[in-house]
Amino acid sequence: MNREEDRTTRYQEGSLTLPGTVMLGTGVMIGAGIFALTGQMAQMTGVLFPLAFLAAALIVGFSAYSYIKISNAYPSAGGIGMYLHKAYGNRLPTAFNALLMYFSMVIAQSFLARTFGSYTMQLFGGDDSGRMVPILGVSLILAAFLINLLGNRMIQGVASFIGILKIGGILIFGLVGIWIADSVSVDFSEPGEAGTLGNFLGATALGILAFKGFTTITNSGSEVIDPKRNVGRAIVISIAACVVIYTLVGFAVASNLSLAEIIETQDYSLAAAARPALGEYGVWFTVAIAMMATAGGILASVFAVSRMLAMLTEMKLVPHRHFGMPGSIQKHTLVYTVVLGLILTAFFDLSRIAALGIVFYLIMDIAIHWGVLRYLRKDIKANTWVPTTAILLDLLALGGFVWVKLNTDPFVIGVAVVTMIVLAVSEQIFLKRSPESAQAKQEESHAHRHH
C-alpha cells in the first residue's frame, strides 16, 4: 500500500440499513442517559427529574431540525464535521466546534464505560476500593475497539442484537416498576431546596446528554442506504423511542425510591430501584440490561467518533501523525479515540465527565444552528424560527447548568474553559501554518457559492 493510499478513509456506501442506523443511534442514547443520569438529575432538581427528561426532549426536538435539514442536503460519513465545514469553510469555527463535538463524544464514551463498571459491581456488593469501576470500564472500551476493527457489518450486527435486548429489557423494567409500585404518583409538592429554575435548567442540560446520541446517526451519513430519506427518519425514530423509554423509567424509579435513595445511589439508581420492587433477581436483571446498554453504546460511539476525526483529518483541519502505525487514517483515529477514552475512564468520576460533555456539546450545537441561519438557510430550505428557537433553548440550558456547577463544582467549569482556550489557540496556530491555509479563503467563498 503506497503512502498516499494510506492517507485516505474508506467508507462503505449502502452498508447500513434504516433499522441498523436507528439501533446505532438509540444504542448511544439509551446507554448514556438513563442508567447514570437519573440520579444526577434528581440531585439537581429533586423529584421533578422526570419532567427534566421531557424538557430535554423538547430542546433536542428543536435541535434535530437543523441536523435533519443538512443531512438531507449533504449526507456524509463525516457528519457534524462536514456540516460545520459546509457552513464555515476551512476556518477556525469548523475545526474548533468539530473538536468540541469529538471530545464531547469521547467523554460520553468514558461516561458509558464507568457506568458499565458501576452497575457490574452491584453484582458483587459494590466497589468499596474504587478501583474496579475504572478497570471494568477500560476493559469494555478495549473490547469495543476490537469489534470496531472487524468492520461495519459486524458492528451493525452486534449493535442491533444488543439494542433489541436492551430496549426490550428497559421497557420491561419500566412497566414492571410502575406496575409493582404502591402508586405511580411522584410527589411534586416538595421539590426540596433543589427546586429552583436554575437547577431545573441544569438538570435539563444533563438530560440532553441522554438524547444527544442522535447526532451519531449523522456520522453514518453516506454509509446509510438512501441517506437523503433515511438519516432524517432514523433521527426522528430514535428520539421518539427514547422519549417513551425515559419517561417510563423515570416514573418507575421515582415510584420505587425516595429522593434521598435516588441521590445516594446515583451511579446505579436503576439497579437500586429494582431491589424494592423485584428483589435480588430484579437487580441482576437490571444490571444485565445496563451492561448490554453501555456496551452497545460504547460500540456505536467508538464507531461514530473515529469516523468524524478521520473526516477532519482528511479535510486537513487537524494535525495527523502515523506514529509508525500501518493501515488507513480511520484505523489511526480509532486508536487515538480509544486511548483518549481510556485515560478519561481511568481518572475522572461520572459527574465530572458528564459536566464537561454537556458544556462542549451545547456550544457546538449552537454553532451548528448559527451556521444554518447565517450561511446555509437558503441552500437547505430551512425555516428561520426553528434554529433560532433551538439556539435560545440551548443558551437557557447551558446557562442553568453553568450556574449550578459554579455553585457546586467550579473546578469542572474551569477545566472546560481552559480546554476550549487551548483548543482554539492550538487550532488557530495549526491552521495558520498549514499549507492549505492559503487556499482556505478561496475554498470558503467557493463553498458558500457552490452548494
DSSP secondary structure code for residue 319 in this structure: -
Place of cell 440520579: 39
What is the pLDDT at residue 101? 87
Closest-CA residue to 134 (of 347, 354, 357, 356): 347
Confidence check: pLDDT of 427 > 70: yes
Closest-CA residue to 250 (of 34, 20, 24, 412): 34
- What's the average model confidence in pLDDT over 316-336? 70
Confidence check: pLDDT of 63 > 90: yes
Which residues neighbour 193 within 8 Å (Cβ) at sequence distance 6 or greater? none
What is the pLDDT at residue 382? 87
Helices (H) and strands (E) in the chain, counts: 18, 0
The H or E element containing residue 243 is helix 227-256
Here the cell at position 421 is: 482556550
Confidence check: pLDDT of 4 > 50: no
Q: What are the backbone dihedrals phi and psi of residue 66, each rounded to the nearest 5 degrees, phi first?
A: -60, -40
Confidence check: pLDDT of 35 > 60: yes
- What's the average model confidence in pLDDT over 303-327? 72
Sign of CA dihedral 37, 110, 205, 167: negative
Contact 212, 55 (CB under 8 A): no
- Would the pTM count as exceeding 0.75? yes
Average pLDDT, the chain: 79
Sign of CA dihedral 377, 378, 381, 386: positive
Confidence check: pLDDT of 397 > 90: yes
Looking at 79-126, list the stretches that DSSP marks H as alpha helix, in order from N- to C-terminal side: 80-88, 92-120
* % of the chain at pLDDT higher than 70: 82
pLDDT digits 0-9 by tens, 163-183: 778 778 888 888 887 787 665
- What's the average model confidence in pLDDT over 142-146? 84
- What's the average model confidence in pLDDT over 196-218? 85
Helix axis angle for 49-73 and 38-45, nearest 10°, is 120
What is the pLDDT at residue 192? 46
Contact 114, 137 (CB under 8 A): yes
- Kindly report the number of other CB atoms within 10 A of residue 74's CB atom: 20
Alpha carbon distance 420, 335 (integer Å)? 23
Here the cell at position 290 is: 445496563
Q: Mind listing the domains of the chain with CATH numbers?
A: 18-443 (1.20.1740.10)
pLDDT digits 0-9 by tens, 333-385: 778 788 888 888 887 776 787 888 899 999 999 999 999 999 988 888 889 99
What is the pLDDT at residue 97? 93
Q: Which amino acid is at 237?
A: I
Alpha carbon distance 324, 309 (integer Å)? 18
In SS3 terms, 69-82 reads as HHHHHCCCCCCHHH
Contact 208, 59 (CB under 8 A): yes
Give whole-number Cα distances, 49 to 55, 240, 355, 368, 382, in Å.
10, 19, 17, 28, 33
Alpha carbon distance 326, 332 (integer Å)? 8
Give whole-number Cα distances, 253 to 227, 269, 303, 381, in Å.
38, 8, 31, 42
Here the cell at position 123 is: 453484582
Closest-CA residue to 38 (of 178, 200, 193, 206): 206
* % of the chain at pLDDT higher than 90: 17
Rg of the chain, C-alpha, whole Å: 21
Q: Rounded to a whole number, what is the largest CA-CA distance in the chain?
A: 68
